Structures are given as structure tokens and as C-alpha cells.
A and B are shown apart, each in its own frame.
Chain A
């Protein structure tokens, strides 16, 4: 029968030509067919958990799914442990998963938490949502990259950078420090992700806590005020949205992470990055680039299942192995390994002078700092008296005089001395 005729018959039945003919087929058969269809559909939707009897571990993952999933698949294959990951949407994922862990704390579903940043992990540890993890390998992890009580472990970091358009800005013009974002030349040209989420939130906490001690009280608020007067845009689409906006000519520079810049460059966008310092060289030799690590931790369980606990420990050890750090280094996000033995391989992506800081203080300050930033930067900008665009000198020139290395990207350092 031609499709048109079928369609015509369908239409006539669907919207009511009179149909007085009564079908004579056994009336129970179609009811059974409907019931069987509905039941089979429902059961098929539930069949997920029915077939696999291997030991299993549930991991909540806020790292990039396309990067994390192959790693988890590889762990599954090599260990024989079934991994059930839960991912969330990128724009809010670390915060969203942290909230889930809090709301499920009385009956947690997750065994392991793999976060793409550290501040939320520290908060969760302090709230008792995470628990201590001990084994020979875990205890051997560098102490500067784990909680003193072994409630979390950090690895595979990303750097906090300024991304810029190579078509509209030269590398020399780009600020060499975060403070120089307040210069008038950048008015209306800067973007950042909403500071209430992800690594931007973490960065706000770092800036607030560190500048409070290293610069002066109130420095962070003054900096926010400067950004506000520079009409910095807060974007709803996350760090990736910042990079995209710059590539589309909406802004010239922005605050983001290294992996988002790599992703944009892979698309052929004309963008690049610099590694800004947090303090001037003369003040602090370790005031360089912020590295925000991935973290992994065991989720506290009211009742311990020995098998699941062993599987969870095995997964933690695997995440901290050189194979995974190498895999993350070689992935599109080019994470910087923190474990021993990979320094040479990572020389092309490691900033020369990572920032040293107290993560506990930074994590504690992130909530308030993020809220203050979001609240202030949303307000309409009012230019303070005296800020009339008089300062137009190069932002990098003063740093260049102190340390010409500070403004160089690691890529330009390859081959030096080789």
C-alpha cells in the first residue's frame, strides 16, 4: 500500500471520520499486547543493573567526561572492577556533585569522588563527607599533594591563565599579573565565568585568602572594584564560554583554565594564553601561576562494605598512578602531573613558577569571595573619580624588567639550554 494511502487512513482514524465498524478480533489479545509492550519497555529500562556480577565501585566525576571515561574504562579492564561513573554538566558540575554528596551523606551512593578542582573537596572533607584512605601507595604520595589526614589526594593539575585573542592583542600587551586586569585599557574587553562555580570560584578563594596575607587587607575587594569599573562580563557558559566569546570577537582577554584554551586552539581559534603571576617578583619568589589540581577521595560510608572499600582504594591508587597522570598529560586537557617521575615529560606544559599557597585557607574563603565577586560584578559599573584612562603603559613592561621569564609561556622556554 502506498505511503500516502497509509497516511490518509491514519489521518482519517486519528481525527475522526466516523468509524462504525466493530472489529471482531479477540479483545483480550490487544490488551495483552499493550501490557507486554509497556512492561518490556519498563523492564528494559531497569535491566542496567541486572547482568554484571563483578565487584563494583561508584565514582562521582566532575572531570571532563571525554577525558575521564577512557581512564575509567581502562581501570575496569585491567582490574576487573566494574566502575559506575556519574558525570554532571560541565557548567556547574563540581558544585553540583558536591551538593549531591552532601544531600546523600546519610546514605551515600558514591564510593569515590573525583573532582576537577580542590576547594570543594577540602570543604567536603571538613564536613565529614570524605574519609581517610590509607594504603602503601597512597601513603607514599607526596605530602604537599594530599590532605594531612589522607582524606583527599591531588593530581593532574590545570593552570589558571589569561586567554587572549591573537588577532587583537599582542602577547606583550597581555597582563603579566592578575592585578593588571584593572588597568583602564581593558575596560569593556574582559570576560570571566560566573564566579560561583568551578575553578573560577576556587580562584576567587585563592585570591582573597592570599592577597589578604601577602598584600594587604582589602586588596581583594579593591581588585574586584577595579574589575567592576572595567565592566568585566560574567558569562553563564563557564570557562569554555569565555574562550568562545573571545574567539568570536566579543572580548579580547579573559580568565580561564588551560584545558579550555587547548580545546579552543584545537578548533583552530586564534587564541593563546599567558600565565599571570599573583604577586610581583620582588615581593614573593613563589607568587607565580595557580595550579588547580584534580582531587580524588573516598566517600565516607556509614557502614563499610569491605569489597567495595577495597575496590575504591584500588581506584584511588590507579588514579594516582603514573599511567593515569601520563594519560591526562597526553589528553586534550594536558593536565600537569604532580606525581614523581613525569617532570621531564611535562616540561612543555608546566609553568615555570607555580604558586604556593595554603589550600585550606583558600577553600575556606571561596564561598564568601565568590559571593562577593558575583554580587559586586553584576552591578552596573560606576567609574570612580581619577580613573579616566590615564594609565596606558604596557602591563608587562614593568614585570619584564624584574624577570623576563615571568611573561613567557612554557612553550617558548622549550629548547632553552637544549
Chain B
């Protein structure tokens, strides 16, 4: 084709200026300073409690933020300010979105980096005790004296903390991208993606590489110079008294650190979200977990090997280890993209491609090379014991060939500490790493970090919440396994071996599903157990119709259905604000859209006895009236709490004398009574959970035969019966999943024999109850349905059984995708929104499957 230029680095591909580099460094430095400032008092308190059990618990909590990737830490806090939330709405109106976003970025990253700095303070304190601390406490020294003493003691540790936190943040550009803060790292990535070669990227990245290498070298030199890692062992008597106020400070600070992960759990995700997450991401989640634990284990072993080689090995080996350490430092300083390209070039050839590049081994190798600096740092920073040094020298066991067993026994506590530090930090970094893995991940390997980041971009908070919760759970499990497996130093080695075998077995159990076995949800459904429906019978379904979509006869989460007994047609409104009219045989006849829908869609509609259609235009706080062809005939209501005003109207019912009943929630939580001329006449109920109160009256139905109004009090999980004037007559129901209980009842249908059918959104079923006044009122007569295991998505239009419902069988057959059709469970539901009655049948909105189910009235 004409006009194509060869691939090169076009002008403007890289816009990294000195000013951008400086601003990026200022961001990182500022966040690292804040993190260290928060970490200082926290580290002091943890160090003081180290010989008590609480210290370890605090240390585990302190490590928790590292289990959540930094970009998730930012997103979890920023997500609390969604425009649809109260806080988010206030923020939007104040015009402070940019300032708030950047503030949250700083806070989230600082809280994420606190553990790195806090551990430096803890290590420094435990290895450089202050013998004058107890004297100051006894003398009642003022806060200035204490502060000065603490500063002198911790200055080096704080510098180390700032350096290590800065290192951690230096490679973190994803969070800044999400927060719309352009960084030097973003420009480096742009350069790579524009087709520039690795040398061009390295050339552009030299300032950040120099800084990273300098920071790491500074950490190592400072640690050695100030003898961190070689200090005296603190005895219990060295630890000062711990006061109540100090304990309070520690737990308050720990709460702050745990804030981002906890914020994720504020949102109550549904089991549906978990089901969907498992269907799509179970394999990537397992693979990511196995990969993280593998990397952690390898780094733990590497850290111990480096320490052992430095202390025991002959000179050539020590020089080799030093060279390897420098290599790890260099690789950590390189941009992640360059590291990835290097491995790509190294392993993608005919000799190593099949064994390495096409397998997960390339990811493992690349991550170890990228994160191996953690092992180097752990081997240096974690303490040595001078007492043990003396023992080894007295024993004459310094030789490599004969002394390593003795060395291992004597050094065992330090080795455990080194392994724990390197393993936990390495696993956490490996779990969240994206830049290297996204470039190298082989086709057979799917990782959760990429999926989670994409879910953030595509506004799928449900997926993100479940993924992040899983990461937190993984961190907690890992910490518990570690503590149990390692137990205590005085245990017999067999106990530790058993602990390690337990850990290995645990990992094998959780990792095995990642390698073999089916991955689609239909098979998963068949593996769910002998009877996933707990004996609940399927709904005696006659037919279903509808598929996901925007065309005639298709739906997007249908929300309400209403039947016109005069003409035999019925109406369905869905989440697209589209109302469709269907003939008695299910043939779509007409459709139209609500005049306004950008802020929300209707959740209820009802057919007046004269054929007019009343639609609860929920988010516009009004009721619209249409003729059967969609022509608007009128509207009433406006936002407010007075009579005649609405907040989120839900449904409409019509009384025998022409009264119109309109339900509301969102603060009003009541039913209003209107005259046939739309004059407000009265109010039933008020917001609350007590008798006479309502909480989201979602479904209204008027029993013309007995002149009673039935209200599905959805959030109170009960059905309330009133007389036409609003006098409460009786009620039944309470929350639960057992027979006789209710979970978010949404629609009521009269069976004509003194019983009613109730559709339950929360229990995915329909249930029949005695409705006539008497001793059996509210007694359950049966339950049908249960949650369908079928995966939501494009669905078939099911064929109709012959001879069931006459003309419907003939006129309602269409071509179906047989494979998709087989995945549906007949007679089961998924989040049914509403139900309507027609002679001898009920019409149930199986909203999770975007379909309408016609069923016989079950007996």
C-alpha cells in the first residue's frame, strides 16, 4: 500500500524532559518521606514489643500492605469517591477532583511503602539498643529529650527506610498512570512501544538507572558502615516499659497502614461477583499465586545462599557472589522493559525457546533477575549474631568443606529471618509485577495482575474487589503458614521439617488446579456437588424467550414485566430504558425508549385497567403514562419528600375504586395513594424496619377480589398487607434461605385460591404462600427454582415443548445456538427482578439471563 513509512522511532515518541524527570523524582521523594515519617513511630512501637507475642502480630499486619499491589492500594481508596457515592458527588461539585486524586495517590503509595521503612527502623532498633532509654524513662525526661535520643538512634535507619521506599516506588509507574500523573517511567514505556530499540530505552533511562544503583549501593554501604546486621543481641531487659498511650499509637498507625486493603472490603460484593470472577479468573489467580510463592521460595533460598557464601566460602566464591550481587543491583536499576527485552532476546531462539521461552520458566527467571536484589538486601540487612560469630571461630569451623553444617546450625535463626524477609517481600513483588511479565508471559500462562489492571481500566470494580480480597487473603494465609511452619527456634528440627512439608503440601493443593483439568464453568457446575439446588424443584417452565441484546425480543437485564389482561399483551422494561410490547404468543410488537435515561432506568411498570401503561421512572422521580403504542399521555411527580413528590418510585398498583398506589425508596420508603385524577391522598408507611415501616417497597399488587394491597417490603424481607386506605392488616416473612423465609421479595402474583406467588431476588426462586387471613397465613406451600449455574452471556432462544401452550409453541420457535442452549438450566433462575400473572401461568423475569420465563402456576 502507498504512504507507509518504515518502522523507526518517530519524532515525539519520547517526551521525557529534565523537568519531567525532576517532577517524577520529587513525587517519589515526597511519598518516601511521608512513608518513612509514618513508619518511624510504628517501627519504634513494633521494636519495643518484639519479645512479646503482639510484636509479631503487629509485624504480620505491617507486612499486609505489601500483599496488595501499589496500584490497587491507590484504586481501593480512589474507588471510595465514585461519582455515584455521596462523597464522590460532593467532590465532583467542589471541583477538587484533581487535587483529591493526587492526594489519595500520595497517601495510598505512602501507606503501601510504610512496611519497607518500618522494617528498617525495627531492624535498626533491635540491633542497636539504647541502654539509656530506661534511664530516661526513670528520670521522666521530656519529649524533646526523648525525641533527640530517638533521632540519634534511628537516623541511619530512617535514611535507609527512605532509600528503600524510594527504590520500591521508582519502578512503580502504573499507579501514577491511573492517577493521571505523567512520569518519566511512562515516557520510557512510550519509547519502547514506539519501536525504539532497547539501547534507546537504556540511553533515555540512564538518570533513573543511576539513581537506583546509587540508592542500592548507599543502602549496602550504610548498612555495613553502621554495623546494622552485626549488632548486639537485645535482651528482654533492654526493652523499655510499654505504656497504654504507646500501644494506642501503635494500633492507630497499624490501622492506617491497613486502610487501603480494608477499604476494599467496605464494598459488599455479591456471590454473583465471585461466581463470575471464578469463571473468568480462577486459573490466572491460581497461577499468579503459585508463581509468587515460587519466586518467594527461590529468593529465600538465594538470600540464605548469599549469606552462607559470604561467611564460609573461599575467596573466589565470595568474589563470584559479590559479582552476582552487583548484577542483581544493576538489573534492579534497569527499566523493567529493558530487562524484559533482554530476556526475550536471550531465550527466544531455536535452542532454548522450547524449554525456556515458551514455558513459564522465562517468567520465573526474569522475575528472579528483576527482584533478586531483595535477596541481596535481606542477606545484608538481617542481623548477625556476634555471639554466634565467636562460637564459630572458637570451633574452628570456618572452613567451607567441614564447617557448613555447624555454621548452618549456629546461624539457623538468622537464616530463618533472612528467608522470611526475602521470601515474603519477593512473593509480594512477584504477585503484582506487570511490566516484565506482560512482555514475557507465555501463552499457556495467565496472570491475575494484568487482568486486574484491565478490570480497573474497564470500570469493572466487582472483578477488582474480588481479586484484591483474594490477594489479602493470600497474604494472611501466607503469614499464618509461615508462623506455624517455623514455630519457634527451640522446636526440634523435625517440627520445622514437618512445617515445611505442610507448607509444601498446602502449596501443592492450591497449585494443582492450575495445571490440569477443565476450566469452563459448565464443567465446574457439574463438579459443584451431587445436588447444588438442595432439593429445590425446578420451576415448571413452559417456555422461555429472549436473549441478550438490543434488538426486538432481546433484553439487557429486564427489570419489570406487566400483563394487560384486556388485550393479552405484556410489557417488559429493561436496563436500556426500552419498553417492549409483546403479543400473547410472545411475538414482539412494538418498542420505545424512555424520553430520559442517562441518569437511570425504570424499575417498575403496571397496566391500568383501561389499558394505559404506568411506568415508574425511578431515577427521574416521576411516573410516566403511555398508551399501548408508546405515546406519552402524561406524567406526575417530582423530586421531594412531600405528598405528591417522589424519591425513586418503584412500582404502581391500581385499587378497585381507581386509586393509584405508588411505592418509593431511597429515603421516602413508603407507598403513596393517589386519586384517579392523580391527586395525592395519603401515605402508607415510613422508612424503617419496624412494624408499620417499609424499606424499599419494590413490588405492589392489588387483590381486587379481597380489596387488599400487597406490598413486597423488599429490604425487610417480608410481605405486608393493607386495606385500600393504608391500614396495615397483616404481614409475614423474615430474612433467610430456608423454606418459608424470604430474601428480597420483588413481585407478588395472586393464584386465585387464597395463595400468592412471591419471586425472590436474593434466593433466585419463587415461593408460594397462604395469603388468606387465618391461622395459616404466611405458611409456605412450596419453593421452586434456585440459582442457575449457567454463565450469563449470549443465550439461545429455547424451543417450546409441543402441546404445552398452543399457539405459543408454533409462533415462538427460532434458530438457536445449541451449544449455548445446552448451558442453560431449565427451570432455574438468576436474579429475577419481577413477576407477573396471566391466566394459569406466571411470567418471571430471569434477569440474570436476559430472558422471560413462562411457567405454569406450580402446585
Contact = CB atoms under 8 A, between A and B. Distances in A.
Given A30-B497, A42-B364, A248-B97, A415 B592 contact: yes
A273 to B, nearest CB: 10
Given A87-B450, A197-B193, A38 B301 contact: yes
B444 A48 contact: yes
Interface in B546-573: 547-552, 554
A123 B1 CA distance: 10
Interface in A181-225: 194, 196-197, 209
A29 B494 contact: yes
B383 A415 contact: no
Nearest to A51: B516
Interface centre among B180, B293, B576 (most CB of A within 10 A): B180
Nearest to B597: A411
A41 B358 CA distance: 19
A93 to B, nearest CB: 8
B148 interface: no
Nearest to A328: B794
B520 interface: yes
A309 interface: no
Interface stretch (B411-419, B527-535, B768-776, B799-807): B411-419
Given A10-B488, A33-B500, A375-B15, A45 B454 contact: no
A249 B95 contact: yes
Interface range on chain A: under 10, 10 to 19, 20 to 34, or 35 or more? 35 or more
B512 interface: yes
A389 B596 CA distance: 32
A236 B181 contact: yes
Interface string A328-356: 01100010000000001111110000000
A147 to B, nearest CB: 9
Contacts of A414: 578, 591-593
Interface in B474-493: 483-484, 486-493
B186 A123 contact: no
A100 interface: yes
A95 interface: yes
A107 interface: yes
A375 B11 contact: yes
Contacts of A131: none
Given A16-B233, A17-B233, A48-B514, A4 B457 contact: no
A408 B515 CA distance: 52
Given A10-B486, A13-B416, A13-B490, A77 B819 contact: yes
Interface in B370-410: 383, 385, 387, 405, 409
Contact of A15 (B101, B383, B486): B383
A161 to B, nearest CB: 14
A238 B56 contact: no
A140 interface: no
Contact of A36 (B15, B178, B504): B504
A99 B13 CA distance: 14
Contacts of B516: 47, 50-52
A317 interface: no
A33 B821 CA distance: 50
Nearest to A49: B444
Interface string A14-49: 111111011111010110011011101110111111
Contacts of A360: 1-4
A105 B521 CA distance: 35
Nearest to B176: A236
Given A11-B56, A36-B504, A236-B180, A265 B598 contact: yes
A323 interface: yes
A330 B193 contact: no
B514 A90 contact: no
A132 interface: no
B348 A89 contact: no
B359 A196 contact: no
Contacts of B486: 10, 13
Contacts of B444: 48-49, 84
A245 interface: yes
A329 B600 contact: no
Nearest to A110: B443
A157 to B, nearest CB: 15
B590 A418 contact: yes
Contact of B547 (A10, A92, A109, A330): A330
A248 B88 contact: yes
B61 to A, nearest CB: 12
B344 interface: yes
B55 A7 contact: yes
A266 B463 CA distance: 14
B52 interface: yes
B554 to A, nearest CB: 7
A146 interface: no
Nearest to A412: B593
A87 B192 contact: no
B791 A270 contact: no
B483 A6 contact: yes
Interface string A223-238: 0000000000011111
Interface in B277-313: 280, 287, 290-291, 293-294, 297-298, 301
Contacts of A373: 12
Given A10-B483, A30-B496, A22 B409 contact: yes
A238 B190 CA distance: 13
A23 B88 CA distance: 60
A98 B550 CA distance: 33
Interface stretch (B316-324, B434-442, B745-753): B434-442
Interface stretch (A64-72, A172-180, A279-287, A390-398): A64-72
B326 interface: no
Nearest to B186: A236
Nearest to A240: B457
B341 interface: yes
A85 to B, nearest CB: 7
Contacts of A240: 457-459
Given A18-B387, A85-B446, A70 B12 contact: no
Given A48-B360, A51-B515, A9 B487 contact: yes
A245 B451 CA distance: 22
Interface in B686-719: none
Nearest to B384: A16
Given A48-B444, A89-B434, A104 B459 contact: no
Given A8-B51, A10-B487, A13-B416, A237 B457 contact: yes
A92 B550 CA distance: 30
Interface in B165-202: 174, 176-182, 186, 189-190, 192-195
A248 B195 contact: no
A29 B497 contact: yes
Given A11-B51, A84-B444, A107-B349, A326 B417 contact: no
Contact of B290 (A9, A12, A34, A41): A41
A345 B550 CA distance: 6
What 10 pairs between A and B have smallest CB-CB spacing? A13-B489, A9-B488, A4-B53, A371-B12, A375-B12, A47-B515, A84-B443, A7-B56, A360-B1, A51-B516
19 contacts: A8-B52, A10-B483, A15-B383, A30-B496, A41-B511, A42-B294, A45-B360, A46-B361, A47-B516, A50-B515, A58-B443, A64-B458, A85-B443, A88-B450, A248-B83, A248-B101, A271-B598, A370-B10, A374-B15
Given A50-B516, A243-B459, A330-B549, 12 more contacts: A14-B420, A16-B413, A27-B493, A41-B290, A70-B793, A84-B442, A109-B442, A109-B443, A240-B458, A249-B95, A250-B98, A334-B550
Interface of A: 2-19, 21-25, 27, 29-30, 33-34, 36-38, 40-42, 44-52, 58-59, 64-66, 69-70, 73-74, 76-78, 84-92, 95-96, 99-100, 102-104, 106-107, 109-110, 122-123, 126-127, 166-167, 194, 196-197, 209, 234-238, 240-241, 243-245, 247-250, 260, 263-272, 323, 326-327, 329-330, 334, 344-349, 360-361, 363-365, 367-368, 370-375, 378, 411-412, 414-415, 418
